[in-house]
Structure 1
Amino acid sequence: MFWRSVVGKLSLTILLLVAFVLSILSIFLMEFFENFHIQEAEDEMLQTATKISSLVELDQERSFIEDMSEMLKDPSSRIAIYYGENDMWVSTSSNENVLPDGAWLESRDEFDEVTRRQHEIKKQVSLPDKEKEIIMVGAPVNDDGAIFVFQSLDIINQTKAQTTKLILLSAGIAIMLTTFFAVFLSTRITSPLIKMREAAYDLTRGEFNTKVPVLTHDEIGELAMEFNRMGRQLKFHINALRQEKEQLSSIVSSMADGVVTLNRNGDILVINPPAQKYIENWYYE
């Protein structure tokens, strides 16, 4: 099977390692971009609230302040200007589904916090009845007033979803490329080993002229050269043994005396013609 081979094991190891690293990296990236998008939205909303508060502090006309607020706000956000003493103006919204009417009414405690303590706030507020979450940014103005900017998290969630999709797509492409290069690299590494295995099989059949091609100059290339050298040495020693055997056979055959070589089981290993003739005559008698 493929996964039991060296190519499969090496490819699977590389793929699992890269997949683990990419998974950890993707999680951290998605977490980072989620916080980044929220922080960017809060900073932009606070900047809008600061600009409007500067208009209020300059004692501009309400109509001018409200018109400028409509111009400065994001289409998906709403602005509430609290002049004090329950006097509040709320901007319109181009998309009621993004930020429904009455969303600011859920944040009366935050209104009091900004006007009483006179400091900026950035909060995420849940709207249970409307099953929505909004970001609320408040900035104090004068002594008893405040500027509030509301924005639904749906827009940020859409941006986060697009970012997550892009990160997952990049991770998927990276895994596909890693798989391709892992198989390619494993094949390049194991191809000489496969040729050595085939050459070793040829050596067991007595084909000592088999050579392994040296494709690289690394450790595998050195192994191929040593394998070829081993084949040459085996061929040399086998030829030497064959020559010694032929010489011994010639010496035994030329002897006038009969010579018989037996093993421990009594089987005849070597016998010369006089011994062969003697045994034949012995059997005949």
Structure 2
Amino acid sequence: MKGLSFFRTIQAKLIIIYVLLILIAMQLIGVYFVSSMKNSLTDNFTKDLKARAEMLSILTADKFGSEAGTADEETAVESLRGMVNNLYISGAEIQVLDASGKIITTSVPSQNDYVGQRNTQTVVSRALQGISDNEEYIIADDNVRKKVVAKPVLSGDKVVGAIYIAADMKDLYATISRINSVFLSGLLLALALTAVLGVILAHTITHPIKEMTRHATAVAEGRYNRKMPVFGNDEIGQLSQAFNYMTGRLRDALSQNEEEKEKLASILANMSDGVVATDESGGVILMNTRAAHMLGSEGPLPEGAPLDELLGLDHEQSGSLAQGNAQSAMLHLSPMGGEDPNIVRVTFTPIHRREGGGIAGTIAVLQDVTEQENLEESRREFVANVSHELRTPLTTIKSYAEALDDGALEDPQLAVRFVGVIRNETERMIRLVTDLLHLSRLDSKESSLRIQQTDISEMLEDVADRFSFQIRQKRIHISTRVREDVASAWLDRDQIDQVLGNLVSNALKYTPEGGMIQLEALKNEEGMLAISVRDSGIGIPKKDIERIFERFYRVDKARSRNMGGTGLGLSIAREIVKAHGGSISLQSELNEGSLVTFTLPLKQEGGSAS
């Protein structure tokens, strides 16, 4: 397998192609060279034979012409035999034929038996017919290739005989074979050198490619600090420089991309709004922590969870979302921890493809508007309560004023009573407006605190003395208790007096005759001053405790209004305590009494603070 994989490499392919090119070129050159050499040697050999045959034809013609009729036949044959023997051709047989084609003499002694016999070969027949260009190849009985040449012997214009030469071509083909051997040796040597040069050439090409492959693999694995060595200024060197430049740009781009991803992840993680992204099929692919909290998802979100099911959209909203027409929706979602459902505004923004149209996904932004809706509800309720609180005394004043105008003024007793009612309702309106202005100043931070060192025990005693008349009327027992470690504190005496007054006033209103009210001041575990007002009154239902500090909130609206309360006392107390940097809380059991506790810092710098 390793050998097969080598042949699939560029290096092996380059070597094979290079060697094959050289081999094909050498083969073409060799075939042309050997063929040309063979043709040249054969032509030269044939020309030499023809020249010798031509010369012997001339000499023989002279012999035939000079001795004819003057000497006997034996003398003529001997003369021709001597001439043939003197004209020696290696490996060749020379025959002299008469006009009838009979062999007169031969240069091969072993062929003397054929003397007197006719030579019937085609070339001989052609020569005896006076054709001078006669030649052919023959293969003898011993498988030796021979070249046969025949020339006519002319005496004047008359053919008197023929010269027949059959030359052995063994030496010629031996020469050609040696030439082939030399050429084959040169071819093998050239192929070997070509293979070596091909390896070197392929190495110069494939080595940079291998280096580039290793560096590309390293870059793919995230190692961008490695640089490709530049081996020269050729195309491969330029490719190496371009690769290094590309790696640098890729490193910078990925670094910038990672920074952007970290920024985006940080932004998504710290957004106050939830963000959910979906793909084109509506499956969730991204959800930040805030969105998971809003949707109540404690574990990892299942991949591809449908957004409409996750948000609990109805059929119409799901259809609009799928078509990319959904814009926003108000939903009630339960967050993690089993808390009460929150009011969430979901805004849908479709992501359109740049090419071809269509929707590639949707971005859903979840905004928790529970507080805004609650504030809006509180504002509406506040306006309604203020309107109601003002309308009731104004209606009463108007009714009694009309009664006085209609004649009740003439009755002194009735007029005095009606005027008293008008005065009481007016005072009630003044208290309401005063409390509203006080709350407004506290909300806008316009009410400045005159911080001074205050004796806690003296402050609590003054509050108890202020309500002594009402306490005696209802025969309520009131007590104050101050721990030694909180003898004094830095606070606004007038503001805290108002807080204590509101709390004691409420305790007196809702504590039956013979009840108990206890004022206590101590240092809590957090090192702050804790002042509590405990009563044995009717208490507050649990469902109302969370809203008891809201403005105009009353547990028993009709009874509270009849007692002259505006519903703002506890709200004012909470704002004053918050302005001091403390907190206020209430604990109560129905028909068992209530405990209101507020905390204040013990140590503050003297002077005025806003």
TM tier relative to shorter chain: 0.7 to 0.9
Alignment match, 1:225: 241
Q: Aligned pair in 2 of structure 1 residues 245, 136: CA closer, same or farther (>3 Å)?
A: closer
* Inter-partner Cα distance in structure 1 for 2:113 and 2:238: 78
Amino acid of the residue matched to residue 120 of structure 2? Answer: R
Alignment correspondent of 1:113: 126
Task: Summarize the Cα distance change of 1:68–1:196 in structure 2 as closer, same or farther, 3 Å threshold.
Answer: same
Note if contact 1:49-1:147 (Cα within 8 Å) is conserved in structure 2.
Answer: yes
Which residue is equivalent to 2:179? 163
Q: Equivalent of 1:132, from 144, 157, 165?
A: 144
| Mapped pair 1:47 → 2:47 | no
Residue 114 of structure 1 contacts residue 146 of structure 1 at CA under 8 Å; is this kept in 2?
Answer: yes
Partner of 1:276: none
Once the two structures are superposed, the pairs formed by residues 1-285 of structure 1 within 5 Å of their partners are: 1-59=5-63, 66-67=81-82, 69-84=84-99, 86=102, 88-92=104-108, 107-109=119-121, 110-127=123-140, 129-142=141-154, 143-244=159-260, 264=284
Change (3 A) 1:100 1:31: farther
Question: 1:136, 1:150 within 8 Å by CA — same for their partners in 2?
Answer: yes
Counterparts of 2:139 and 2:118 in 1: how far apart (Å)? Answer: 9
Q: Deviations over 1:162-215 (max 9, x none)?
A: 222223223322322332222322221121111111111121233222111222
Higher strand share: 2
How big is the shift at 1:247?
6.1
2:96–2:106 contact (8 Å) kept in structure 1: yes
Aligned-pair CA distance for 1:4: 0.8
Counterpart for residue 454 of structure 2: none
Higher helix proportion (structure 1 or 2): 1
1:227 aligned partner, one-letter code: F
Partner of 1:273: none
Larger deviation, residues 82-91 vs 214-223: 82-91
Q: Distance in 1 between matches of 2:285 and 2:262?
A: 24
Partner Cα distance (1:38, 1:106) in 2: 28
**1-side partners of 2:239 and 2:286: how far apart?**
44
C-alpha contact (below 8 Å) 1:80/1:149 kept by paired residues: yes
Structure with higher Rg: it is 2
Letter aligned with residue 144 of structure 1: V
Cα distance 1:107–1:190, how it changes in 2: closer, same or farther (>3 A)?
Answer: farther
| Post-superposition CA distance 1:97-147 (Å, at most 9, x none) | xx9996xx79533323212224231111233x4443321112222221222
- Identity among equivalent positions (%) equals 21
Per-residue CA distance 1:86-107 (angstroms, 9 max, x = gap): 46121137xx8xx9996xx795
Contact 1:48-1:73 at 8 Å conserved across structures? no
CA contact (8 A) 1:124 1:135 kept: yes
Aligned-pair Cα RMSD in Å: 3.9
Whether the 8 Å contact between 1:78 and 1:150 is mirrored in structure 2 is yes
Tell me whether 238-247 or 182-191 shows the greater mean CA deviation: 238-247
SS of residue in 1 equivalent to 2:214: helix
SS at match of 1:19: helix
SS at match of 2:129: helix
- Deviation digits for residues 207-228 of structure 1 (CA, Å, limit 9, x no counterpart): 2221112223232222111101
Q: Matches of 2:14 and 2:24 in 1, distance apart?
A: 16
Q: Which amino acid aligns with 1:51?
A: M
Amino acid across the alignment from 2:233: H
Structure 1 CA distance, aligned partners of 2:217 and 2:112? 79
SS at match of 2:120: helix
The code of the aligned residue for 1:12 comes to I
Contact 2:106 2:112 in 1 (8 A): no
Distance 1:77 1:250, change over 3 A: same
* Offset at residue 55 of structure 1 (A): 2.5
Paired AA for residue 32 in structure 1: S
TM-fit CA distance, 1:70: 3.3
Aligned partner of 1:224: which letter?
Answer: S
- In structure 2, the CA distance between the partners of 1:136 and 1:269, relative to structure 1 (3 Å rule), is farther
Residue 199 of structure 1 aligns to which amino acid in structure 2?
H
**Structure 2 vs 1, CA of residues 245 and 88 (structure 1 numbering), >3 Å: closer, same or farther?**
same
In structure 2, give the amino acid aligned to 1:172: L
Q: Distance in 2 between matches of 1:37 and 1:155?
A: 11
TM-score normalised per structure 1: 0.74
The 1:246–1:66 alpha-carbon spacing in structure 2 relative to 1, beyond 3 Å, is same
Question: Whole-Å Cα distance in 1 between the matches of residues 259 and 113 of structure 2?
Answer: 106
Tell me the distance in 1 between the aligned counterparts of 2:13 and 2:113. 60
**1:230: Cα distance to partner?**
0.6
Counterpart residue type for residue 180 of structure 1? V
Q: 1:268 to 1:66 in 2, by over 3 A?
A: farther
For the residues of structure 2 that align with 1:74 and 1:141, how far apart are their CA atoms?
Answer: 19
